[in-house]
Structure 1
Amino acid sequence: MTSPAGPPGSSYKQPVSVLVVIHTPAMEILLLERAAHPGYWQSVTGSREGDEALGHTAWREVLEETGIDCRQHGLRDWQQQNRYEIFPQWRHRYAPGVTENVEHVYSLCLNEKQTPCIAPDEHRAWCWLPWQEAAARCFSASNRYAIEALAGQPARS
C-alpha cells in the first residue's frame, strides 16, 4: 500500500522520483556506484522535493550527483513512468506505509564523455560503459530497461 509523503517540512522522501540516463551519441552510459551500497550501480536518480516540476527534479539531481548542468545539453523527458516496490532497506526514508515509488524517466545526451564531480556522500565511484555492459551492471531493472530502450532494444514484458 502506498500512502502520501509526510506532512510539509517532514524529512520523509516523496515516493516520486526521476531516473536520468546520461549517455553519449555512441551509446556510452555514465553509471554511478552508491556509497552506502557498494556494488549497486545506477544512473542518476532522485526524489522530487516539495512541489517542484519533475524536469527541475531531473536537472537538480544531475547537477547534484555529477556536476553536469542539463541546461547545456539535451535533457529529454520520455513521458514514461515506472511503478515499483521500494527496496526494504530504503523504506525508512519514506513515510510509514509507503512501499511503492513512481519513477519518471529522462535521458541526457552529452556530445562526449565528461568527468563527473560526484558527491562522496551519495556515490563512491563512476564509470562510462558501452550500453550493453552498463545495462548488465545496473542493480535496478527499470534502469536496465531504460538503457536498453535508449539503445533501441525491444521492450521486455
Structure 2
Amino acid sequence: MSETPPHKIPQSVLVVIYTPQLNVLLMERAKQPGFWQSVTGSKDTPDEDWRATAIREVAEETGIQVGSAAVPHQALTDWALENIYEIYPVWRYRYAPGVTHNIERVFGLCVPEGTPITLAPAEHTQYLWRPWQAAADQCFSPSNAEAILQLPRRLNAGCA
C-alpha cells in the first residue's frame, strides 16, 4: 500500500543567485527540458520561516551552503517582494483541492565568481551562468524573469 504524499504548501521562495559581476545562475528543470529557472521551492511546513526556506532550497538545489565562509548569511537578502500567481493547472494535483494560487517570496543571493554548483539530479539536469539580461530572457517563469531584471536597480539601491 503506497502512501499519498502530503499536499504542497502554496507558499514558495524564488532565490536569484548572482555574482558581483551580475552573472545569474539558471538551472534546467529535469521534468521540463528547456525550462530554465532560478532556485524555487515550497515551504516544508506552514510555519517555516521564509529565510529558512530559502536557505534550505538553495542547499538542496545547488549545494551552496548559506552561512559558510564563502557565502555568509548576509549574502542572502530578502527583497520583501511577494508575487501571487496562478498555479499552472498541470501542477495543481500536488496541492490541496481548490488551491489555485501560490505566494512566492523573492530573495537575492550574491556568491563569489566560480562558486561550485552541485545539482539535485531529480530536479535539474544542467546549469549555466548568464549575464543578467540574457538570464531574464531565458527564464520560462515571468516572475523569475522580472526578479532578475530588478537586480541592477536593487544593487544600486544597496539592497540586493
Query: How high is the TM-score relative to the length of structure 1?
Result: 0.89
Distance 2:33 2:16 in 1: 20
The answer on whether the counterparts of 1:113 and 1:128 sit within 8 Å (CA) in structure 2 is: no
1:47 equivalent to 2:42? Answer: yes
After TM superposition, which residue ranges in structure 1, 4 or more long, deviate above 2 angstroms?
Answer: none
Q: What amino acid is aligned across from residue 103 of structure 1 in structure 2?
A: E
Q: Which residue of 2 aligns with 1:62?
A: 58
Paired letter, 1:41: W
Give the drift of 1:147: 0.3
1:17 paired with 2:12, answer yes
Q: Structure 1 CA distance, aligned partners of 2:89 and 2:28?
A: 19
**Structure 1 unaligned regions, length at least 5:** 1-8
Residues 50-107 of structure 1, C-alpha deviations (whole Å, 9 max, x = no match): 1211100000000000000111321000111000001111111111111100000001
Alpha-carbon RMSD = 1.4
TM-score, normalization: structure 2? 0.87
Contact 2:64 2:116 in 1 (8 A): no
Residue 117 of structure 1 pairs with residue 113 of structure 2 = no
Partner of residue 29 from structure 2, selected from 10, 14, 34: 34
- The unaligned stretches of length 5 or more in structure 2 are 155-160
Secondary structure, counterpart of 2:14 in structure 1: strand
Letter of the structure 1 residue corresponding to residue 100 of structure 2: T
Partner Cα distance (1:113, 1:85) in 2: 35
CA deviations over 1:105-129 (Å, ceiling 9, x no partner): 0010012132310011001110000
- Tell me the residue number matched to 1:4: none
How far apart are the structure 2 equivalents of 1:105 and 1:48? 13
> Does the C-alpha gap of structure 1 residues 54 and 144 become closer, same or farther in structure 2, counting only changes over 3 Å?
same
Query: Matches of 2:110 and 2:144 in 1, distance apart?
Result: 16
Distance 2:150 2:66 in 1: 21
User: 1:9-68: CA deviations, max 9, x gaps?
Assistant: 961100000000000011000001100000110000000011211100000000000000
